[in-house]
């Protein structure tokens, strides 16, 4: 419950403090006096976007503070504990300042807070209903939300939403897989590429050896001639002794003298090693000579192998030494696509199960909505009889659609129907309701659904717009009835509604130091009588107006 509201430099209010109580508090004042400033102040506490126009002319900033009473069981208290913003008291303080440059700051229990936090907490403390909220009754999505609130079936709506989300996730995954194109065609193409690559030896070492062999064979004749000369130089021929034979002769001579000269023995040992090395060199040169077979068929085969590798490198747009990496990438994609194809196949039964689960949850919600729609129609219709719409009827018509797609709101669409006068057919509310009828219907719905929402404070901004006379008196009584259940604040311009209040706040406009200002005060009994008389008869308080005001107040005295 709102206990205190403090305003400073807000629009035409320099400073005002208001203490509030339980029940219905009405707010009245002359046109232009600033009655709705109190609503604007509360909207700032709900995190509404700040506007520099809210700052009084000449001031640096506007400030609004509200203190609310909360109990241990209130959702607001649970939120405060969750956010670690609770205090060891049964009250919570909300504060908002708006600077002249448009910037703003917020506090909860004296601690800095984001406006989003302010909005979350305020939604658990109060509801503000303006004329735009009455227009929301014309929106079908809001109508369905209204019906679900009346039905009190949050578990059913949550189950439908959860089932719809699960189904939608599967549909999204299916679309993602299908958007890759024909998986079977891609698989066939990649398999063909992999087969081509797997026919070849793609290891970089094997390719480098192939390239080396090809170079050798392509120059086999010249290389064999070179090798032959090297072998002859080492082994010798008919015309020359050769290095190996020369070493052997030298070794034979030194070995004969080695017994008598140790130094020569060491040289002989070195020549033994040289002979061994020269023999090894000759063996290798001969093997290489024999390997360089200038066979045209062998060279042609090497040409064909290299040609295939270069063709594959052009096809895959990479170097021949990168073909192995390309094969690895293709193999990985093949595995991924095979898994995707299998996943796509597995999705079909999963989608069927998800669709069935959604249909089951949606059907349970539908049955509850049907029952609630009947009850809401009957109760609002009865309330209309007390709000100047005698003989009028209200109904909630549900249109069902097959659950072909996962709609989180369910399979129903709603249309609120109204017949404002007896004998008229019920027609969609959005087509027939006037401003006054819409206001009364809004109030009727609020009265019927009171107690369904845990928010302790309800604020109405000129909910009585477009009505008067006996209807206004009925509206006042219903607001007073609503005030028995929770704290209600109502801005009004009708004396019949004003007289129904348990408390009365007056907003007055006056000039001071060349500036227009507004003052807010809680009226006593005499002040209420004078204000209602003014509302009845204008600025001049006549005896008749005062008597009528007294009668209105007395009629509300017995509840």
For the record, the structure tokens of 481 come out as: 């009835």
Q: What is the dihedral of CA 267, 272, 276, 277, to 10 degrees?
A: 0
The answer to whether position 1 is within a domain reads no
Residues of the domain holding 207: 183-337
Positive/negative CA dihedral, 354, 356, 359, 364: negative
Q: Cα–chain-centroid distance for residue 251?
A: 93
Residue 388's SS3 state is: coil
CB 532 within 8 A of CB 549: yes
Whole-angstrom Cα distance, residue 418 to residue 444? 13
pLDDT score of 232: 81
DSSP summary character for residue 244: H
The answer to whether position 342 is within a domain reads no
The answer to whether position 551 is within a domain reads no
pLDDT score of 130: 67
The answer to whether position 384 is within a domain reads no
pLDDT score of 102: 84
Task: List Cβ neighbours of 283 (8 Å cut-off, separation of 6 or more).
Answer: none
Can you give the pTM of this predicted structure? 0.60
The answer to whether position 535 is within a domain reads no
The answer to whether position 270 is within a domain reads yes
The answer to whether position 243 is within a domain reads yes
The tally of domains found in the chain comes to 1
pLDDT score of 140: 77
Q: At what angle do helices 469-485 and 543-557 cross, to 10 degrees?
A: 40
Distances (CA, A) of 519 to 104, 510, 536: 24, 8, 21
Q: pLDDT tens, position by position, for the chain (559 residues)? A: 999 999 998 888 888 888 999 999 999 888 766 777 888 899 999 988 888 888 888 889 999 999 999 988 888 999 999 998 888 888 999 999 999 888 899 999 999 999 999 999 998 898 887 655 666 677 777 788 889 989 999 999 999 999 999 999 999 988 887 776 666 777 788 888 888 888 888 888 888 888 887 877 777 667 777 777 887 888 777 666 788 888 888 888 777 765 667 777 788 888 888 888 888 988 888 887 777 766 677 778 888 888 889 998 898 888 988 899 999 998 888 877 777 777 778 889 999 999 999 999 999 999 999 999 999 999 999 888 877 778 889 999 999 888 888 999 999 999 999 887 787 888 888 776 566 677 677 777 877 876 566 688 988 887 666 667 777 787 788 888 888 888 999 988 889 889 999 999 998 887 666 666 778 889 999 999 999 998 887 767 788 888 888 888 888 765 5
The answer to whether position 219 is within a domain reads yes
């Amino acid at each position: 419950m709102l206990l205190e509201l403090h305003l400073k430099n807000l629009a035409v209010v320099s400073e005002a403090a208001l203490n509030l109580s339980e029940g219905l508090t009405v707010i009245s004042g002359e046109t232009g006096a600033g009655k709705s400033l109190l609503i604007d102040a509360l909207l700032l506490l709900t995190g509404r976007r700040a506007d520099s126009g809210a700052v009084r002319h000449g001031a640096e900033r506007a400030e609004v503070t509200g203190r609310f009473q909360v109990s241990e069981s209130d959702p607001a208290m649970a939120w405060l504990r969750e956010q670690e913003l609770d205090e060891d008291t049964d009250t919570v303080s909300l504060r908002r300042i708006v600077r002249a440059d448009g910037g703003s700051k917020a506090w909860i229990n004296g601690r800095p807070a984001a406006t989003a936090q302010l909005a979350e907490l305020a939604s658990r403390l109060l509801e503000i209903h303006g004329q735009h909220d009455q227009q929301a009754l014309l929106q079908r999505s809001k109508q369905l939300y209204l019906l679900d609130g009346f039905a009190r079936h949050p578990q059913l709506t949550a189950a439908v939403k959860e089932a719809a989300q699960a189904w939608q996730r599967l549909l999204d995954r299916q679309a993602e897989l299908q958007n890759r194109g024909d998986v079977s065609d891609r698989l066939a193409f990649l398999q063909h590429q992999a087969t081509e690559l797997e026919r070849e030896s793609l290891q970089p070492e094997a390719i480098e050896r192939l390239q080396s062999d090809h170079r050798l064979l392509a120059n086999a004749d010249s290389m064999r001639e070179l090798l032959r000369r090297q072998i002859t130089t080492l082994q010798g021929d008919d015309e020359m002794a050769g290095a190996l034979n020369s070493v052997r002769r030298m070794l034979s001579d030194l070995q004969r003298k080695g017994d008598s000269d140790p130094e020569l023995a060491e040289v002989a040992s070195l020549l033994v090693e040289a002979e061994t090395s020269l023999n090894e060199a000759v063996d290798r040169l001969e093997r290489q000579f024999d390997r360089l077979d200038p066979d045209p068929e062998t060279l042609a085969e090497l040409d064909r192998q290299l040609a295939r590798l270069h063709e594959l490198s052009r096809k895959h747009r990479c170097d021949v030494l990168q073909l192995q990496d390309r094969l690895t990438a293709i193999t990985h994609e093949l595995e991924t696509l095979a898994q995707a194809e299998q996943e796509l196949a597995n999705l079909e039964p999963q989608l069927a199960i998800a669709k069935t689960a959604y249909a089951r949850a949606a059907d349970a919600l539908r049955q509850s909505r049907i029952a609630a729609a009947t009850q809401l129609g009957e109760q609002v219709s009865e309330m209309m009889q007390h709000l100047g719409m005698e003989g009028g009827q209200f109904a909630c018509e549900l249109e069902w659609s097959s659950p072909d797609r996962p709609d989180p709101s369910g399979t129903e669409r709603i249309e609120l129907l109204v017949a404002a006068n007896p004998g008229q057919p019920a027609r969609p509310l959005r087509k027939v309701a006037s401003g006054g009828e819409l206001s009364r219907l809004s109030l009727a719905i609020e009265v019927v659904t009171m107690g369904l929402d845990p928010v302790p404070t309800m604020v109405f901004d000129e909910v009585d717009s477009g009505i008067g006379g006996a209807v206004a008196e009925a509206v006042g009584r219903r607001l007073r009835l609503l005030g028995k259940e929770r704290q209600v604040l109502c801005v009004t311009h009708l004396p019949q509604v004003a007289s129904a209040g348990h408390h009365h706040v007056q907003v007055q406009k006056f000039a001071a130091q060349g500036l227009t200002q507004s003052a807010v005060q809680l009226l006593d009994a005499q002040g209420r009588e004078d204000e209602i008389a003014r509302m009845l008869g204008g600025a001049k308080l006549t005896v008749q107006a005062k008597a009528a005001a007294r009668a209105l107040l007395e009629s509300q005295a017995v509840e």
